[in-house]
């Protein structure tokens, strides 16, 4: 009976493994969409729960999911497309104007305004520098045109992925709690550890969205206000670039701010450089310091070195989605080490100590047995030597008594012969 059960279970596990592999191959082209949908469900779950508690919803989970999706699309997705379109348009205009600027005359005039032979010698290389910049601008313009063509050609695929995203999020939000409970029940780790891992993943995903992406958007928007006050051109494009750079830990927008300030000072726009520097270091930089501790969960805490390593490692491994994959995987690894230290390390330590003690006792017993055996052999050798010595001592006495007896017999025989 037991053998039949285990054979059936083994066959079932093989079938389940084959079906899982086939399912992964099937959804492979849309794996990123699936992961984005799961991340969105985790992030939107608090909003879904809040909407579900409204009286006019009346506990209808499907209606709450539809309203949540509508809010998400209106607040995030549609503005993202508008921002991307405006950014591409401004970037194209910027490169077009850059190619029309007489950079050679501007650079020569600036070098001539400086004093000293080193700067005057640099005038000769101004033409080659400007030619390289113009070539780069022309190449960038061609790249932008190709990008626009590729975006237009990929619209059908993007529409399919968008439809899948909406369907998956709408299907996963209402039964999310039941799916989580069922996953915990099926997990071989047990409900407690499964819940801990699930809680850690949820905390890290929400912390990344709130503590990294949301703060980067706020910092970029605030920096855009100072760009506008300073009177810089292409404020929208610079704002979008600031949002992207704010994702980089420790450095962030400072690269862009310092570059703009240096260019402003070199071109004589000192007030622009001062406004940008004061705006960043006096206001924008403090947004991260104030908001990050409030938006990042304690359960998602990672040491700074591991967090930065996981961010850049995930980015190099899986692109933009690696910003989620890397920290989540690193957090799960740290959690696994903590679980082992809390639950299994002491038991394994005791087991290893017991095994070491048994091995030491066995080795000591073998050593004592070996010593005892050697002692027995030595005692046996001593006894044999003693017996041999005793036999050697007895042998001369026997030979002496035999000679005396023979002499007495010969003497008596001689006396008898003389009497006759």
Helices (H), 28-60: 31-52
Q: What is residue 325's predicted lDDT score, i.e. its pLDDT?
A: 86
Rounded CA separation 264/275 (Å): 10
Q: What is the DSSP letter of 75?
A: I
Of 299, 35, 330, which Cα lies nearest the Cα of 161?
35
Rounded CA separation 336/166 (Å): 33
Both structure tokens of 361: 């006792």
Both structure tokens of 385: 């030597």
Per-residue pLDDT tens over the stretch 112-155: 555 455 544 544 455 555 566 556 666 666 666 676 667 667 77
Both structure tokens of 261: 């300030």
Among the residue ranges 45-54, 107-116, 183-192, 211-220, the one predicted with the least confidence is 107-116
pLDDT of 277 higher than 80? yes
Per-residue pLDDT tens over the stretch 222-262: 999 999 999 988 888 888 889 888 887 777 788 889 989 98
User: Could you count the other beta carbons within 10 Å of the beta carbon of residue 233?
Assistant: 11
Burial code of 239-259, b = ≥16 C-beta within 10 A, e = fewer?
Answer: bbbbbebbbbeeebbbebbee
Both structure tokens of 410: 């010969």
Q: What is residue 301's predicted lDDT score, i.e. its pLDDT?
A: 82
By the 10 Å C-beta count (0-12 exposed, 13-18 middle, 19+ buried), 265 is classed as middle
At 50, is the pLDDT very low, low, confident or very high (cuts 50, 70, 90)?
very high
Per-residue pLDDT tens over the stretch 295-308: 878 788 888 888 88
Both structure tokens of 198: 């699930």
By the 10 Å C-beta count (0-12 exposed, 13-18 middle, 19+ buried), 311 is classed as buried
Q: What is residue 403's predicted lDDT score, i.e. its pLDDT?
A: 47
Per-residue pLDDT tens over the stretch 367-418: 877 777 777 666 666 666 666 666 666 655 444 444 444 444 544 444 444 4
Q: What is residue 410's predicted lDDT score, i.e. its pLDDT?
A: 46
Per-residue pLDDT tens over the stretch 56-108: 888 899 999 999 999 988 887 777 777 777 777 776 676 666 555 555 555 55
Structure-model confidence comparison of residues 368 and 269, the more confident one: 269
Q: What is residue 223's predicted lDDT score, i.e. its pLDDT?
A: 93
Question: Is there a contact between 81 and 68 (Cβ–Cβ < 8 Å)?
Answer: no
Q: What is residue 5's predicted lDDT score, i.e. its pLDDT?
A: 80
Per-residue pLDDT tens over the stretch 303-335: 888 888 888 888 888 887 888 888 888 888 888
Sign of CA dihedral 278, 280, 281, 283: positive
Residue 231 — left, alpha, or beta (φ > 0 → left; ψ -120 to 50 → alpha)? Answer: left
Under 8 Å CB-to-CB from 144, ≥6 apart: which residues? 88, 91, 92, 95
Query: Does an H or E element contain 138, and which?
Result: helix 126-153
Q: What is residue 360's predicted lDDT score, i.e. its pLDDT?
A: 78
Per-residue pLDDT tens over the stretch 157-210: 878 888 999 999 999 999 988 888 887 777 778 788 888 888 888 888 888 888
Question: Is there a contact between 284 and 222 (Cβ–Cβ < 8 Å)?
Answer: yes
Q: What is residue 21's predicted lDDT score, i.e. its pLDDT?
A: 93
Contacts 24+ apart (CB under 8 A), 68-75: 68/44, 68/173, 69/166, 69/169, 69/170, 69/173, 71/47, 72/40, 72/44, 72/47, 72/169
Q: What is residue 15's predicted lDDT score, i.e. its pLDDT?
A: 93
């Amino acid at each position: 009976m037991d053998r039949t059960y285990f054979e059936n279970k083994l066959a079932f596990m093989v079938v389940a493994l084959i079906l899982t592999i086939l399912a992964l191959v099937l959804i492979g082209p849309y794996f990123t969409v699936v992961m984005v949908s799961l991340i969105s469900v985790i992030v939107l779950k608090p909003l879904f729960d809040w909407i579900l508690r409204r009286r006019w919803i009346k506990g209808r989970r499907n209606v709450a999911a539809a309203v949540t999706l509508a809010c998400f699309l209106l607040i995030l997705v549609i503005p993202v497309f508008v921002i991307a379109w405006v950014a591409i348009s401004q970037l194209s205009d910027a490169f077009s104007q850059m190619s029309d600027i007489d950079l050679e005359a501007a650079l020569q005039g600036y070098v001539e305004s400086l004093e000293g032979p080193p700067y005057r010698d640099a005038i000769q290389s101004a033409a080659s520098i400007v030619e390289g910049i113009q070539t780069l601008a022309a190449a960038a313009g061609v790249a932008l045109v190709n990008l626009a063509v590729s975006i237009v050609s990929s619209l059908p695929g993007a529409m399919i992925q968008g439809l899948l995203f909406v369907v998956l999020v709408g299907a996963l939000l209402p039964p999310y709690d039941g799916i989580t409970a069922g996953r915990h029940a099926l997990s071989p780790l047990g409900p407690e550890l499964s819940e801990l891992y699930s809680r850690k993943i949820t905390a890290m995903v929400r912390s990344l969205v709130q503590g990294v992406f949301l703060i980067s958007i706020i910092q970029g928007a605030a920096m855009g206000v100072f760009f506008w006050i300073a009177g810089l051109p292409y404020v929208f494009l610079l704002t979008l670039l600031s949002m992207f750079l704010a994702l980089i830990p420790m450095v962030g927008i400072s690269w862009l701010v310092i570059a703009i300030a240096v260019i402003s000072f070199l071109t004589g726009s000192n007030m622009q450089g001062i406004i940008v520097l004061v705006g960043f270091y006096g206001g924008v930089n403090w947004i991260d310091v104030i908001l990050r501790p409030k938006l990042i969960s304690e359960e998602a805490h990672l040491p700074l070195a591991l967090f930065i390593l996981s961010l850049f490692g995930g980015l190099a491994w899986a692109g933009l989605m690696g910003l989620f994959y890397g920290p989540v995987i690193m957090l799960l690894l740290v959690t696994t080490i903590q679980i082992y230290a809390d639950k299994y390390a002491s038991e394994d330590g005791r087991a290893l100590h017991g095994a070491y003690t048994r091995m030491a006792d066995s080795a000591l017993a073998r050593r004592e047995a070996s010593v005892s055996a050697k002692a027995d052999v030595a005692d046996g050798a001593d006894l044999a030597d003693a017996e041999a010595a005793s036999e050697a001592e007895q042998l001369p006495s026997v030979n002496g008594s035999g000679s005396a007896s023979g002499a007495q017999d010969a003497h008596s025989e001689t006396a008898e012969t003389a009497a006759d």
